Amino acid sequence: MKPKVSEIALHHPRDGRPVPIVADAGLSSRGLHGGRLLPVVLLDTSDRPDVAEYIRIHEELGPGDIKYQWGQIEGHQGTVALLLTCIRPMELFFVIEFDIVRQGILVEQALAGEGIYLTCAVGADDRLSKDLERPKVIFEVGDIEFRKVWDNLFYKHLAAHFRENGLSRRESRQAALSAIEELRKFGALRMRDVR
């Protein structure tokens, strides 16, 4: 599939800079999102108080409207990006960038679970377990034709990573396939509803 190239008009130069990821976790709840395991991404919003405010007011005001797009930022090798345009309860655009090898499980889970939680980090050493009740917002993000592109990118980057770490070409390909298969098995787990 030939990549589509688009330019996005930004209201402010900071809008085009990805909001850094400090930490991540997984969250599955009975009765929410079919009990699917969804990634939780803790963001460094120190340079983006508007993103922190969006998360805060979204939790208070309830569901909002968003548009999203999975893709890659030109010149950013080895990453994929989630571009989010929030319409309601507040207008906002921001980008979250994921390193394919180190954070690919987050993208895989967001695509499989069709959602991702975003919350604000409090410092560089913050973890979700330090405050499970912190404001967070769930974004429903399906694959919108990104799955084929993602599958190819994920496999290619994992195989290259294994090759760089000493495996033969054949071994690295098999290791990449095995790793992806195991991640998908883990990601398919669901929290069952209580009957």
Model confidence pLDDT, tens digit, residues 121-131: 988 898 988 98
pLDDT at 4 over 80: no
Long-range contacts of 154-161 (CB under 8 A, 24+ apart): 154/100, 154/104, 154/107, 154/108, 154/180, 155/180, 157/78, 157/100, 157/101, 157/104, 158/100, 158/101, 158/104, 161/101
Q: How far apart are CA 176 and CA 156, in angstroms?
A: 8
Q: What is the pLDDT of residue 43?
A: 97
pLDDT of residue 22: 96
* Percentage of residues of the chain with pLDDT beyond 90: 57
Residue 156 pLDDT exceeds 90: yes
Average pLDDT over residues 80-92: 91
CB 128 within 8 A of CB 28: no
Q: What is the DSSP string of 93-130?
A: EEEEEEEHHHHHHHHHHHHHHT-EEEEE-SSTT--GGG
Neighbours of 1 (CB within 10 A): 7
CA distances for 130 relative to 122, 126, 142, angstroms: 10, 7, 29
The per-residue pLDDT for 129 is: 87
